[in-house]
């Protein structure tokens, strides 16, 4: 068995994008631009981001036995992601139907498809892959029971867990307790803190310390152009600024950030050092259009 820096357990979707002058109302048909099909899904995005930077990366995911599944496998392989853990069949590949209006506003319908068929049993079957990785990175576009099984297996194997709670959903205590770090943007942080006074605070430091009370070993809050905030159990939260860049398209910035962060942790960096690298990768990703297409190779990451 090869060893990996990073195993991503998560989703793979085909993003189907059509430009429209305006969104159709109920019962209405509008004509749009030519269809563009892009490889996406948070799991595949994170794996591609890390592999493109040079990480030995594998993905545990499920796609359909169809053209979208083949597109995803191709993009993963082209980036150098190990695909032995990408299973095929059981349902159509997950798709995101995206319409974009001239103001750049999106409307999105997601059909999770094969992503919902990634089971706890698949995680058990991939035990060797989990044990061969230094870090496992998770998001929430696969069934919650599968996320929980991957966390349990990672803990049993002594593998570090990085988790991005996106799309936001409640997390069981055992999952939260394993996160090192929990990586949340503002929206995700506020969701996890609903019912807590800190959810209404405007200071990310308040979200980070309230999130730590929920059990994770460490927390990273991403702040868009503001960079990120790092908070561990031992001491002050620290803001890490992002290099100033001209943002063209922020799609996938969080995935690029988290893939880069997980890789640097696997390579032995401390959390602060890994975040200092990840903000540079996130910043590079927003200077180009698209998600995976925008992720930088190591030599394209801006200097600190
Ligand atoms: P998400 O994409 O999950 O909403 P953020 O918007 O917080 O996450 O972005 C993730 C990371 O990408 C940030 O921490 C930052 O490093 C980088 N980033 C995002 N937007 C910008 C921007 N406008 N300028 C520079 N860096 C950015």
β-sheet with 13-19: strand ranges across: 36-40, 13-19, 94-100, 106-111
Q: Express each pLDDT in 15-40 by its tens digit.
A: 999 999 999 999 999 999 999 999 99
Q: Which domains does the chain have, with CATH numbers?
A: 4-20+35-296 (3.40.1190.20)
Strands in 218-222's sheet, in edge-to-edge order, are 86-88, 57-63, 4-9, 133-138, 160-163, 179-185, 218-222, 228-232, 238-240
Q: What is the pLDDT of residues 243-265, one digit of tens each?
A: 999 999 999 999 999 999 999 99
Q: What is the mean pLDDT of residues 90-117?
A: 94
Task: Give the tens place of pLDDT for each residue, 155-184.
Answer: 999 999 999 999 999 999 999 999 999 999
Q: State which of 137, 248, 253, 264 you would mutate to test the pocket of ligand 1, scoring each by most atoms of that ligand within 8 A of its C-beta.
A: 253
User: Is residue 1 predicted with pLDDT exceeding 70?
Assistant: no
Reduced to 3 states, what is the DSSP secondary structure of residue 95?
A: strand
Burial class (CB in 10 A: 0-12, 13-18, 19+), 156: exposed
Quote the mean pLDDT of the chain: 96
What pLDDT shows up at residue 219? 98
* % residues pLDDT > 90 (the chain): 94
Of 138, 122, 94, 121, nearest to 262 (Cα)?
138
Q: Is the CB of 296 within 6 Å of ligand 1?
A: no
Q: Cβ of 235: how many Cβ atoms within 10 Å?
A: 7
Check pocket membership of 46 for ligand 1, CB cut-off 6 A.
no
Query: What is the average pLDDT across 60-74?
Result: 98
Atom of ligand 1 nearest to the CA of 280: 16
Q: Which of 191, 207, 229, 242 for mutating ligand 1's site (highest number of atoms within 8 Å of CB)?
A: 242
pLDDT band at 234 (very low <50, low <70, confident <90, very high): confident
């Amino acid at each position: 068995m090869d060893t990996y820096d990073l195993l991503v357990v998560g989703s793979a979707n085909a993003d189907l994008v059509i430009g429209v002058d305006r969104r159709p109302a109920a019962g209405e048909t509008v004509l749009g631009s030519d269809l563009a099909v892009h490889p996406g899904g948070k799991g595949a995005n994170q794996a591609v981001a890390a592999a493109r930077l040079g990480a030995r990366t594998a993905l545990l995911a499920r796609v359909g036995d169809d053209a979208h599944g083949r597109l995803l496998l191709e993009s993963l392989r082209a980036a150098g992601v190990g695909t032995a853990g990408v299973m095929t069949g059981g349902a159509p590949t997950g798709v995101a139907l995206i319409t974009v209006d001239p103001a750049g506003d999106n409307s999105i319908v997601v059909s999770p498809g094969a992503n919902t068929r990634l089971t706890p049993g698949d995680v058990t079957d991939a035990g060797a892959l989990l044990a061969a990785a230094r870090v496992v990175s998770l998001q929430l576009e696969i069934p919650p029971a599968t996320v929980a099984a991957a966390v349990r297996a990672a803990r049993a194997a002594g593998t570090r867990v990085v988790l991005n709670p996106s799309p936001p959903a409640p997390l069981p205590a055992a999952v939260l307790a394993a996160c090192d770090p929990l990586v949340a943007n503002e929206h995700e942080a506020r969701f996890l803190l609903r019912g807590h006074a800190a959810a209404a605070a405007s200071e990310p430091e308040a979200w980070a310390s309230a999130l730590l009370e929920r059990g994770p070993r460490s927390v990273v809050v991403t702040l868009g152009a503001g960079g990120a905030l790092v908070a561990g159990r031992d001491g002050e939260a620290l803001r890490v600024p992002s290099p100033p860049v001209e943002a063209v398209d922020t799609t996938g910035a969080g995935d690029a950030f988290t893939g880069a962060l997980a890789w640097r942790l696997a390579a032995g960096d401390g959390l602060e050092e890994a975040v200092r690298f990840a903000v540079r990768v996130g910043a590079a990703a927003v200077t180009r259009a698209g998600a995976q297409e925008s992720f930088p190779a190591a030599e394209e990451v801006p200097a600190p």
